């Protein structure tokens, strides 16, 4: 069977939730017929990597987190309208704790969550957000999916395919200055875990002057690029994941049968 995926490589209006939600609502109309629609990390407002005074940063986090329920409802609406699983992350506040939370919204109204495990230290994300403790692996339309966020891509132990997942999803705000690392690690995670890897990134320039090249792509279990987006341009990248091909390859070249057995803590 084929699973049809759309990776929405989009520019973001940094800090403007209403504008971004409106823009993505329009883009959903071009994603009909897809099984999965992937949005960039922090798609409602952009990554919060500009170091500021503590009070100013807290105020900004609170402002963006205040839209959390609206973002979740909007993603559920999109899932219902398109008949697709929608995945993307935003700021979530629980008590005094803030999380970079990936929301997976299903067409039937169900919702699953993943909190980013690795907060980007060099951008100060670890100072403002709490790291998640649990991985998210679930099955959708016969395909087992694992969800990750941006900086998680650098950590193979956290991405380790202990559950036999078929597709690893990485939503990101990954700067163009490290685009070679992004492209290399997407392929590495696909090869070592014998799975498809879908990486969706934003494009454009943020409020700190950082540029984002996109380079969104679907990679197969051999590390080959199935489809990739044009660098620096908004694009809805459409690609197909063939589960039968993946299963055949795993049986023929059974790397996962020799993976190390240990528990993640």
Which active-site residues does the annotation give? 41, 116, 150
What is the DSSP pairing of strand 97-105 with strand 85-94? antiparallel
Quick check: helix, strand or coil at residue 214? coil
Are the beta carbons of 246 and 221 closer than 8 angstroms?
A: yes
Q: In terms of C-beta density within 10 A (0-12 exposed, 13-18 middle, 19 or more buried), how is residue 13 classed?
A: middle
* E strand or H helix that includes residue 225: strand 225-228
Count CA atoms closer than 13 A to 50's CA, side-chain side.
15
Are the beta carbons of 34 and 6 closer than 8 angstroms?
A: yes
Per DSSP, what are the bridge partners of residue 168?
146, 197
* Cα(24)–Cα(44) distance, integer angstroms: 9
* Cα(154)–Cα(185) distance, integer angstroms: 7
What are the Cα distances from residue 264, in Å, to 59, 157, 193, 234? 35, 8, 16, 37
Helix 68-82 with 17-28: angle, nearest 10 deg: 10
């Amino acid at each position: 069977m084929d699973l049809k995926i759309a990776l929405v490589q989009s520019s973001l209006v940094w800090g403007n939730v209403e504008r971004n939600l409106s823009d993505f609502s329009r883009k959903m109309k071009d994603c009909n017929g897809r099984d999965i629609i992937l949005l960039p990390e922090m798609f409602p407002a952009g990554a919060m990597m500009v170091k500021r005074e503590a009070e100013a940063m807290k105020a900004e986090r609170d402002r963006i987190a205040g839209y959390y329920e609206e973002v979740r409802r909007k993603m559920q609406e999109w899932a219902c309208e398109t008949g697709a699983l929608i995945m993307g992350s935003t700021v979530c506040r629980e008590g005094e704790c803030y999380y970079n939370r990936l929301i997976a919204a299903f067409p039937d109204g169900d919702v699953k969550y993943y909190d980013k495990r690795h907060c980007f230290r060099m951008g100060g994300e670890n100072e403002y957000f709490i790291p998640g403790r649990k991985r998210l692996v679930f099955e959708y339309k016969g395909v087992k999916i694992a969800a990750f966020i941006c900086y998680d891509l650098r950590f193979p132990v956290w991405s380790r395919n202990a559950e036999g997942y078929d597709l690893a999803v990485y939503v990101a705000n990954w700067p163009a200055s490290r685009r070679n690392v992004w492209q290399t690690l997407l392929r590495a995670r696909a090869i070592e875990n014998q799975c498809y890897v879908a990486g969706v990134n934003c494009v454009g320039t943020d409020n700190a002057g950082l540029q984002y090249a996109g380079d969104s792509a679907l990679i197969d279990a051999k590390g080959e690029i199935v489809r990739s987006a044009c660098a620096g341009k908004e694009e809805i990248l459409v690609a197909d994941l063939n589960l039968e091909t993946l299963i055949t390859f795993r049986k023929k070249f059974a790397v996962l049968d020799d993976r190390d057995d240990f528990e993640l803590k």
